């Protein structure tokens, strides 16, 4: 293997150990090829099963990247209008009343869904809090509700749409959705990496699995790094979205005053040292974590899945700081496209 890749793999495994992650899987995609796909440590500690590129994990909020693609595929065909008012969809009034009254204050203290003209785009771009479209606040509960208008517009359950619009065309045969009314496919359930946490004595301990969820857009996907690499390649090759729709998905929002809102449609979007980065993290407390980081202009992608929360770095709810992740920082330091290296050497 390329010495650069071997050195990066060794650094990942060192970080895994430092952050008490039992099992970690990685895929790196460069210039249209998967150049690294492997696992480190144990997917199942009790049974001694090693993590591999084919180990399935709950990918948590990285599911939002897939939900964004579903929405934009439907929009591309004229089935879904992202700028349609949320108030025109069934059930929005009840959802709004519930969250305004009982939703967690960290997400709903200034959620004005009863007076602001919110659209599906506002919800899926995390700009629904406060005055519509004027500020960014990561609100997974609000985003999760987007599955209902998407399903309503398409006339099919959201999980069915994910399977039809993403898993099938991308060739993701080791991926599935699950929710309280949809058990995980048996073959994936048998291989799923169980979740772990570090106990008060500093030892790795088994965690209960995440609680049952509805068929929401914010999570609910089990996948492997190999399958997410197939998703990544399908995006790059234009098999899922046109270039115009990908640009829309990865374009950060802007307030009316010109402030950058660091989220597109289901993806964070920011610049790190002049490099355009689109990404999403995933975090289930004391259970799972994930990172999907993509540099579209450089044809570089990093995908990481773990069976503990050790990948998570505490990104703030009101910002995008992927560079604070030690795993992302290692990748960004070690990998640059030939074009980006030449720009840096010329001082541009």
pLDDT digits (tens, 9 = 90+) for 263-285: 999 999 999 999 999 999 999 99
Q: Where are the beta strands (DSSP E) in the chain?
A: 23-30, 33-44, 49-50, 57-58, 176-177, 196-198, 204-206, 221-223, 253-254, 260-261, 268-272, 275-284, 288-295, 300-306
pLDDT of residue 210: 87
| 288: nearest Cα among 311, 314, 315, 308 | 308
Mean pLDDT in residue range 14-18? 98
CA dihedral of 177, 178, 181, 182, whole degrees rounded to 10: 60
Residue 339 has pLDDT above 90, yes or no: no
C-alpha 152/C-alpha 303 separation (Å) is: 32
pLDDT, residue 336, reads 84
Rounded CA separation 236/32 (Å): 8
The single-letter DSSP state of residue 60 is G
Going by pLDDT thresholds of 50, 70 and 90, the confidence category of residue 321 is: very high
pLDDT of residue 341: 52
Show the CA angle centred on residue 81, arms to residues 138 and 182, nearest 5°.
65
Query: What's the average model confidence in pLDDT over 130-136?
Result: 97
For the 3-77+156-345 domain, the top CATH level (class) is alpha beta
Asked if the model's pLDDT at residue 346 lies above 70, the reply is: no
Task: Taking residues 312-328, report their average pLDDT.
Answer: 98
Cα–Cα distance measured from residue 263 to residue 244, given in angstroms and rounded to the nearest whole number: 17
Q: What percent of the chain has pLDDT over 90?
A: 95
Q: Is the pLDDT of residue 338 over 60?
A: no
Strand partners, 284: 288
Give the CA distances from residue 80 to residues 74, 77, 172, 281, in Å, rounded to whole numbers and listed in that order. 5, 8, 24, 26
pLDDT at residue 343, rounded to an integer = 53
Structure tokens at 329: 């920082």
Whether 251 shows a pLDDT value over 80: the answer reads yes
pLDDT for the residue 340: 54
Predicted confidence at residue 155, as pLDDT, reads 98
- Selection from 193, 195, 194, 197 nearest residue 224 by Cα: 193
Beta-carbon contacts of 211 under 8 Å, excluding residues fewer than 6 positions away, are none
| Token pair listed for 96 | 């709004």
The pLDDT confidence band at residue 212, using thresholds 50, 70 and 90, is confident
Residue-level pLDDT at 168: 98
Please give the pLDDT value at position 211. Answer: 85
Q: What percent of the chain has pLDDT over 70?
A: 96
What is the pLDDT at residue 209? 85
Q: Is the pLDDT of residue 326 over 60?
A: yes
| Mean pLDDT of all residues in 289-295 | 98
| Rounded distance between C-alpha atoms, residue 348 and residue 335, angstroms | 18
Domain residue ranges in the chain: 3-77+156-345
Mean pLDDT computed over every residue of the chain = 96
Q: Provide the pLDDT confidence category of residue 203 given band limits of 50, 70 and 90.
A: very high
- 8 Å CB contact between 13 and 343: no
Average pLDDT over residues 29-42: 98
Residue closest to 309 by CA, chosen among 188, 207, 212: 207
CA angle, residues 214, 219, 222, in degrees to nearest 5: 105
The count of other CB atoms within 10 Å of the CB of residue 296 is 16
pLDDT at 63 over 70: yes
Cα 260 to the center of its chain, rounded Å: 20
The sheet carrying 49-50 orders its strands as 49-50, 33-44, 23-30, 300-306, 288-295, 275-284, 268-272
Beta bridge partners of 261: 253
CA distance 178 to 180: 7
pTM of the model: 0.96
CA dihedral 299, 171, 26, 198 (to 10 degrees): 130
Q: Where is pLDDT greater, at 143 or 344?
A: 143
Q: Is the pLDDT of residue 328 over 80?
A: yes
Give the bridge partners for 221, in sequence order: 177
Q: Indicate if the pLDDT at residue 342 is higher than 80.
A: no
């Amino acid at each position: 293997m390329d010495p650069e890749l071997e050195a990066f793999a060794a650094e990942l495994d060192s970080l895994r150990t430092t952050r008490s992650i039992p099992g970690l899987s990685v895929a790196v995609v460069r210039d249209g090829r998967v150049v690294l796909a492997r696992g480190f440590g144990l997917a199942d500690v009790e049974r001694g099963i090693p993590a591999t590129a084919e180990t399935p994990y709950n990918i948590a909020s990285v599911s939002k990247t897939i939900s964004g693609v579903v929405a934009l595929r439907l929009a591309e065909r004229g089935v879904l209008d992202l700028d349609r008012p949320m108030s025109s969809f069934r059930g929005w009034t009840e959802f709004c009343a519930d969250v305004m009254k009982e939703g967690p204050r960290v997400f709903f203290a200034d959620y004005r869904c009863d007076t602001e003209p919110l659209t599906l785009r506002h919800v899926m771009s995390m700009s629904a809090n406060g005055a519509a479209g004027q500020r960014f606040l990561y609100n997974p509960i609000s985003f999760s509700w987007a599955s209902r208008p998407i399903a309503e517009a398409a006339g099919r359950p959201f999980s069915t749409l994910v399977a039809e619009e993403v898993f099938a065309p991308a060739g993701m045969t080791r991926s599935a959705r699950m929710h309280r009314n949809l058990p995980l496919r048996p073959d994936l359930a048998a291989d799923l990496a169980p979740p772990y946490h570090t106990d008060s004595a500093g030892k790795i301990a088994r965690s209960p699995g995440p609680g049952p969820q509805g068929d929401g857009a914010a999570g609910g996907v089990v996948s492997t790094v190999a399958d997410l690499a197939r998703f990544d390649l399908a995006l790059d090759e234009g098999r899922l979205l046109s270039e115009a729709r990908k640009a829309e998905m990865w374009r950060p929002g802007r307030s009316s005053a010109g402030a950058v809102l660091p989220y597109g449609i289901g993806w964070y979007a920011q610049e790190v040292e002049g490099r355009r980065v689109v990404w999403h993290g995933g975090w289930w407390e004391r259970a799972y974590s994930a990172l999907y980081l993509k540099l579209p202009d450089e044809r570089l992608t990093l995908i990481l899945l773990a069976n503990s929360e050790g990948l998570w770095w505490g990104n703030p709810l009101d910002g995008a700081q992927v560079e604070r992740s030690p795993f992302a920082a290692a990748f960004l330091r070690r990998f640059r496209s030939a074009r980006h290296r030449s720009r840096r050497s010329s001082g541009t």
